[in-house]
Structures are given as structure tokens and as C-alpha cells.
A and B are shown apart, each in its own frame.
Chain A
Amino acid sequence: MDLEPLDPRQVERFRAMTAAEKWDVAKGLLGTARQTRRAAISMRHPDWSRDQVERELAREIACART
């Protein structure tokens, strides 16, 4: 696997972050992923209610793997 070393400024920043700060970033990524999937579902099914979209989003997330 090719994995570039982090930039020294990233190293410094990541080392300085608290657990809560790191988790805030990860939560933001999760939020973005969910919003993107939510938008895609709404585009595929413009007639669906918000509840239907949320149920489909939950189903897709449950089937996804990271």
C-alpha cells in the first residue's frame, strides 16, 4: 500500500488535537457522508417523504462498511 508520509504541519496538528477534537472531525466526515447519501436518495426518489428517506439512509448505512 502506498501511503505518503504526513506533512510535518499535519503531524504537529494531529499530535496536538485532543480526543474530542479528533472525534469532532470524524463526526463531521460521518455527517458529510450521511448528507451526501441522503441527497442521493432524495434525487432517486423525489416523491419520498423525509421519513422514507431516513429509513433508506439507515438501511444503506447499516449495509455499508468502512
Chain B
Amino acid sequence: MPEPDLLEIFARPLHEAGARYLVAGSLGAMLYSEPRLTLDIDLAVVLPQELLERMSQLYPEPDFYCPPRSVLLAENKRECRAHFNVLHLPTGLKADFYPAQADAFFAWSWDHRRTADHPAGPIIYAPPEYVLVWKTVYFAEGGSEKHVRDVRRMLELSGDEIDLGVVEVELMRRGLWEHFQRMR
């Protein structure tokens, strides 16, 4: 039985719809570090009204759970920390969606995005600075050591292509630069 592919299940529909999305989180970290096990995918995405209305077509029943339109609208309006899940029910795999139209750092990251080829087609990844900032945010909130490992491996393997000045400015703005210093 072929094993499921998070990128094909969740990211390709967004890509084919022409969305402004970035693969971040552990999968984003992997691009700049080492492969590791993950059961979900983090997708920062700009959802204009037309795309928001198509989400239930991109992730259709019965294979997917996509939140109701009212939830998508409410989350999409949130100015910070907007979030919803989409589930692939046959496999239990999950995507965390982070609507990001109000996030200036997303705009910078979109301008610095990386596109990588995969067998099913290209996938757009967040730049390492975006991954590091959000790893630090989630470490500050939850304390999970997986974020520490991801950050250290990214710095170890891709430190020469990371603009730490950008990371510092963004984390200083969020009051989290000290957290990052402890993680590295």
C-alpha cells in the first residue's frame, strides 16, 4: 500500500489553485536541515475571498474535514495568530493552516520564498528566517524540544544562508530574541 504524502495531499491543491502559501514548521525546517518524522504540515497562506470560498473544493468531503465557511471567515479576519486545521480522514494526517494576510513578516517571507521541485510538481517553502521565527514563537509558548533541535540543525547545516539580522529584528519586535538565544 503506498504511504500518504503530506505535500501532495495538502500543499499541491494550494499550489494548483495559485495560492500564496509557504510550507513552514517541521517540513519547512527540513529543507534547511535534516529529514525527520512528522505527521502534519504547517501552511502559512493568504486566503483572498475567492480562494476561501473554494477551500471545501480543494479539500473535499468525504476524504477531508475542512472547517465550515463561518470558521474560515472568522479565522481569516483575525489579525494575529489565525489558525484552522484541515484533516485527511483516511490517513489521519493533518494540516495546520495559518492565514497570514495581516502578517508583514509573511509578506517579506513571500518575497524570499524558495521553490523546490518534487515529483508531483513544485512546492513553495518559507525562507529559513520565517521558519526560525515561528519555531521560536512555538518554543516560547510550549517548550517542546523538537523546536530546539530543528533550530540548531538549521543553523548547523544552513547557517551560511540564514540572515540572522532579519530573525533578530522580527524576534525583538515580538520580545522573543532571548528565547532564540537560549535555543541556539
Contact = CB atoms under 8 A, between A and B. Distances in A.
Nearest to A55: B90
B118 A20 contact: yes
B87 A26 contact: no
A33 B92 contact: no
A18 B117 CA distance: 8
Interface centre among B6, B31, B92 (most CB of A within 10 A): B92
Interface in B129-184: 145-146, 148-149, 152-153, 156-158
B30 A66 contact: no
B38 interface: yes
Determine the main DSSP class of B at the interface with A.
mixed
Contact of B149 (A1, A15, A63, A65): A1
Contact of B94 (A17, A31, A62): A62
B43 interface: no
B39 A3 contact: no
Contacts of A63: 92
A19 B93 contact: no
A26 B35 contact: yes
A66 B156 contact: no
B39 A27 contact: no
A43 interface: no
A33 to B, nearest CB: 6
Given A6-B156, A61-B93, A26 B36 contact: yes
Interface string A38-50: 0000000000000
A66 B31 contact: no
B90 A54 contact: yes
A20 B116 contact: yes
B111 interface: no
B61 interface: no
The 6 closest A-B pairs by CB, nearest first: A61-B92, A19-B116, A58-B92, A62-B92, A25-B35, A31-B3
